[in-house]
Chain A
């Protein structure tokens, strides 16, 4: 899949702002719209855009399939792990109140970590689906 020079240059300019915007949506989700899911899809869209532009080989050098296969379950593990840590500290499953010295601080830590887990699973799943489609030939 190759496009003409205008599209290639235009997409190259969009990649960095897209990734930056994904980070903003991820880290600013407590104060503005967005969160792990939206940020994950935006980051995946940037990688997919790059993949559409340069082809499957070069994009898999940046984000290899093996990395995705770690990140997809890794996000769920981080999420559930935060819940288990809350249990180990004497609360309920996914109770963030005891993660830090006081309840509000613990809530902020819990939400932050959980959103990272969502980001990892969502973005890597989207990229993996793209790889799965783009890696097949027409039969």
Chain B
């Protein structure tokens, strides 16, 4: 009961922050609101017992990416440029995307239901983790051992992003002189 109340309160606050992000015109305020959004999201993940995801969301979403946004704002401008195009096409695109997402939601299993296929036919990692790997935190054993290929792929994605940013943004030698 109390968990449902907290979840609903957090979701309402998320909705309010989202409206704020859309409405606000100053980009500085938008970046701060995005950080607030991530922090609320992280709290919601804790309520849903997904502590690992909450930690990632708080560190990446609310922490580091806010700094990156601020760095980008410092290099560009803090006021959104007025759009010269019409508003019809973006509105249509947003409505179509939202419609597709809501349509997709109807196919999801009921929230928290133990009858989902993933709980009935999925691999029984909860039982296997301790005897096979000796790791009590099943999230870690799934990420780093059973699904190690995926995590190698994720690390490679981070690596690729890193060298991409370095290639694009790093100051080249002699750039500052001329």
Whether B71 pairs with A134 at a CB distance below 8 angstroms is yes
| CB neighbours of B64 from chain A (8 A) | 41, 44-45, 48, 126, 130
Q: A31-B136, A128-B166 are in contact. Are A48 and B144 (CB under 8 A)?
A: no
Say whether, besides A124-B162, A129-B165, A107 and B132 are in contact (CB < 8 Å).
Answer: yes
Q: Which listed segment binds A: B13-21, B29-37, B100-108, B152-160?
A: B152-160
- Roughly how many angstroms separate A36 CA and B74 CA in the complex, as a whole number? 30
What 1/0 mask marks residues of chain B from 41 to 80 whose CB sits below 8 Å from any chain A CB?
A: 0000000000110111001100110011001101100000
Q: Among B52, B134, B166, which residue has its beta carbon within 8 angstroms of that of A107?
A: B134
Let me know if B149 is at the binding interface, CB within 8 A: yes
Residue of B51, B156, B162 with highest tally of chain A CB at under 10 A: B162
Contact status B165-A96, CB under 8 Å = no
Q: How far is the CA of A3 from the CA of B41 in the complex (A)?
A: 29
- Cβ–Cβ contact A118 & B155, under 8 A: yes
Docked Cα-Cα span, A121 to B166, in Å, equals 14
Q: What separation, in Å, do the CA atoms of A111 and B136 have in the docked complex?
A: 13
Chain B residues near A44 (CB, 8 Å)?
64
Q: Which of A45, A73, A110, A133: most chain B CB closer than 10 A?
A: A133
Q: Is the CB of B59 within 8 A of A38?
A: yes
A121 touches B162 (CB 8 A): yes
Measured between C-beta atoms, what is the minimum distance from B162 to chain A in Å?
3
Please indicate the chain B residues that have their CB under 8 angstroms from the CB of A35 in the complex: 52, 139-140, 143-144
Q: Which residue of A lies closest to B161 (CB)?
A: A125
Contact present for B133 and A111 (CB under 8 Å): yes
Contact B149 A94, beta carbon cutoff 8 Å: yes
Cβ of B171 within 8 Å of any chain A Cβ, yes or no, is: yes
B169 at the A interface (CB under 8 A): yes
Closest-by-CB residue of A relative to B67 is: A48
Contacting residues, chain B, for A129 (C-beta < 8 A)? 68, 161-162, 165, 169
**Nearest B residue (CB) for A136:** B75
For residue A122, CB closer than 8 A to chain B, the reply is yes
Q: Does B7 contact A (CB under 8 A)?
A: no
Known A125-B158, A130-B67, A135-B170; further 11 A-B contacts with Cβ < 8 A: A30-B137, A38-B56, A41-B56, A41-B59, A76-B152, A124-B162, A125-B161, A126-B64, A129-B165, A132-B166, A132-B170
List, sorted by A's number, 18 A–B pairs whose CB atoms are closer than 8 Å: A30-B137, A30-B140, A33-B137, A34-B55, A35-B144, A45-B64, A94-B152, A103-B132, A104-B131, A111-B135, A121-B155, A121-B159, A125-B165, A128-B165, A133-B72, A133-B74, A136-B171, A137-B176
